[in-house]
Structure 1
Amino acid sequence: MIRLIRFCLLAIHFVITSAVGLLIGLLRPFHPTNSRWCAHLYGKIGMPIIGIKTEVEGLEHFDSDKPYIVVANHQSNWDLFIVGSIVPKRTVSVGKKSLKWVPLFGQLYWLAGNVLIDRGNPRKAMEAMAITKEALIAKNTNIWFFAEGTRNKGKNMLPFKKGAFVTAINAGVPIIPVCCSSYLDGFDINKWDNGVARLRVLPAVSTAGYTQENVQELMDELHATMLNNIKELDGLRNNQSESAYNA
C-alpha cells in the first residue's frame, strides 16, 4: 500500500513540477538559474514523498563569484531529489542526450540550459565539452557533473570519466566535490522512513598547474578523497542507526 501511495504521489509531483519547470523555461529559455529552481522544486517536494531527509555540511564552499565545476557521486534516479535540493546558483548539469525524449522532464531539462551530450559519439561529446567551457567562462555559469557517468547503485564509486576534469583544466576553473552517503543501503520504497542521506560539500580544488597530460592524477586524487569522505559519512549513518536501535 505504501508503495502504491508513493508512486501515485510521485507521478502527480513529477507532472506538476515538470509543467511548472517547462513554463519557467519557456518564459526565459536557457537562463542558468532555471536549472536550480527546477532541481529545488523536484528535491524539496520529492524527498518527503520517498521518506528521506538530508543533513548537509559545507554549503559555504559554493559561495563564489567565479565559476567552478561540481563533481558528485551518482547512486540512483533518486539523486534528482536528494542532491537536487542543494544545487547552487547559476548551475547547470551535463546529461546524456537521450534525456530530452523523456516527456515533460526532457524538454524542461533542455530549456533550463543543461548540456546534453552524445556519449556514444566522441566528436559530439567533445563539442559539448567546448560548450561547457564557454558556459563557464563567458556566461559565468557553474557546471554539475556526475563524474562516474552512470549510476553506481550505492555500491562504492565507479571510476571517473574524464569529461569534468578535462573541462575544468581547459577552462582553468576549480572543482568542488560533493559527497553523498550510501542512502540506498536499507532504502525501501515500501517503508515510510528511509532514513537520512548525508551530503558533504568539500572545499574547492584548484586545477592550476594541471595539464591534459596529468589529468589522470587529478582524477585519482579526487576519487580517493571523495571515497574516503563517503565512507566517513556512511560511518556516521551507521553509528546513528545503532544508537537509535539501542535506545
Structure 2
Amino acid sequence: MLFAVRMLLLSVHFVVASLINLMIGLCRPFNPDNTRLCARVYALPALKILGVRVVTDTALLRDHARPAVIVGNHLSNYDLFVFGCVVPARTVSLGKKSLKWLPLFGQIYWLAGNVLLDRGNAHAAKRAMTSLTQTMHERDLSIWVFAEGTRSHGRGLAPFKKGAFQMAINAGVPIVPICGSQYVNHWKLNRWHSGTIYLRALPPIPTTGLTLQDMPALMASCHASMAECIAELDRQAVQAAQA
C-alpha cells in the first residue's frame, strides 16, 4: 500500500516539478546552471516522498576546479533523484538525442543546456564531442557522463565506454569520479524508511599530458577505483539496513 501511495505522489511531483523546471528553462534558456537547479527541483522532494536518506561525501565534487568531466555509475531511472541532489554548479550532462522528444522532460533537458548526441550517427557524435571540448573551456563548464552507457540495475559497475575519457584527454581536463551505492539492491520502498544511499566523490584524476594511447590505462584505473569505492559504499548500506 505504501509503495503504491509513494508512486502516485512521485508521479504528481514529477509533473509539478517538470512545470516548474520548464519555466526555469523558458526564462533563462541554456543557462549553464539550469541543470543544477532543475536537478534539485526534481530530487529533493522526490527523496522525501521515497523515504530515502542520502549520505553524501561529495565535497571534492562540489569544489572541483572547472572544467572537468564527471563520471558516475548509472543504476536506474531513479538516478535523476539520487544524483540530482549533488549536481555541482555549471554542469551539464550528455544524453541521447531521442531524449529531446520525450514529452515535457525532453524539452526541459534541452533547455537546461544539456548536450544531446546522435549515437546512431558516429560522425555527427564525434563532431559534437570535439566541439564540446572547446565549449567546456570557453563557457567554464563541466560535463557529467554515465560512462557505462546504460543502467546497471545493481549488477555491478559495467565496462566503461570511451567517450568520456577521450573527451577529458582531448580537453586536458581532470576526471572527477562520483560513486553511489547500488541502492536498487538495498532499499525497500514499501517501508516508511526505505533505506540509506551513500554517495562519495573521489579525488580528481588529472589528464594533463596524456594522449589517446594512455586512454585504456586511464579507463582501467578509474574503473578499478570506482568499483572499489562502490563495494565499500554497498557494505555501509547493508550495515545501515541491518542496524
Q: TM-score, normalised by structure 2?
A: 0.96
Question: Once the two structures are superposed, what CA deviation does each residue of 1:104-141 show, in whole Å capped at 9, x if it has no partner?
Answer: 11101000000011222211211221232133111101
Would you identify which runs of 4 or more consecutive aligned residues in structure 1 move more than 6 Å? Answer: none
- Relative distance call for 1:230 and 1:184 in structure 2 (3 A) is same
- Give how far 1:206 is off: 0.1
CA contact (8 A) 2:21 2:108 kept: yes
Partner of 2:116, secondary structure, is: strand
Equivalent residue letter for 1:82: V
CA deviation map 1:128-160 (0-9, x unaligned)? 212321331111011000000110001101100
Q: How does 1:39-54 map to 2 (within 5 A)?
A: 39-54=39-54
- Tell me how large the CA RMSD over aligned residues is: 1.3
| 1:149 is aligned to 2:161 | no
- In the TM superposition, what is the alpha-carbon distance from 1:40 to its structure 2 partner? 0.9
- Which letter maps to 1:4? A
Please say if residues 172 and 209 of structure 2, whose CA atoms lie closer than 8 Å, have aligned partners that are also in contact.
Answer: no
CA distance in 2 between counterparts of 1:29 and 1:130 reads 23
Q: By how many angstroms is 1:30 displaced?
A: 0.5
| 1:161-220 Cα deviation digits (max 9, x unpaired) | 111100000000001000000111133443332211100011111012321122111001
Alignment partners' CA distance in 2, 1:240 and 1:66: 34
Letter in 2 for 1:141: L
Instruction: In structure 1, give the amino acid aligned to 2:137.
Output: I
Letter in 1 for 2:193: D
Does residue 214 of structure 1 match 2:205?
Answer: no
What code does the residue aligned with 1:132 have?
A: L
Q: Return the alpha-carbon distance in structure 1 between the equivalents of residues 237 and 189 of structure 2.
A: 19
Output the amino acid matched with 1:121: N
| 1:200-245 per-position Cα deviation (integer Å, ceiling 9, x unaligned) | 0111110123211221110010000000000011112222333x1x
Q: 1:136-215 alignment to 2 at 5 Å?
A: 136-215=136-215
Deviates most, 117-126 or 159-168? 117-126
**Match status 1:16 vs 2:26:** no
* Whole-Å separation in 2 of the counterparts to 1:238 and 1:3: 21
Partners in 1 of 2:170 and 2:45 — Cα distance? 37
Unaligned runs of 5+ in 1: none
C-alpha distance in 1 between matches for 2:127 and 2:194: 40
* Alignment match, 1:94: 94
Contact 1:132-1:143 within 8 A present in 2 as well:
no
Q: Cα offset for 1:65?
A: 4.6
SS of 1:184's partner is helix
Q: Which deviations, in whole Å up to 9, do the C-alpha atoms of 1:64-99 show, x marking residues without a partner? A: 453111000000001000001000000000011111
CA shift for structure 1 position 26: 0.9
SS of equivalent residue, structure 1 residue 37:
helix
Contact 1:187–1:194 (CA under 8 A) maintained in structure 2 = yes
Structure-2 residue corresponding to 1:112: 112
User: Residues of 1 paired with 2:56 and 2:30: CA distance?
Assistant: 28
Whole-Å separation in 1 of the counterparts to 2:166 and 2:125: 12
User: How far off is 1:102 after superposition?
Assistant: 1.4
Aligned residues between the structures: 243
* Larger deviation, residues 102-111 vs 116-125: 116-125
Q: What is the SS of the residue equivalent to 2:200?
A: strand
Mapped to 2, the partners of 1:150 and 1:216 lie a distance apart of 20
Task: Indicate conservation of the 8 Å contact 2:196/2:241, yes or no.
Answer: no
Corresponding residue of 2:7 = 7
Give % identity.
Answer: 47
- Distance in 1 (CA, whole Å) between partners of 2:96 and 2:130 is 16
| Structure 1 equivalent of residue 239 of structure 2 | 239
SS state of the match for residue 93, structure 2? strand
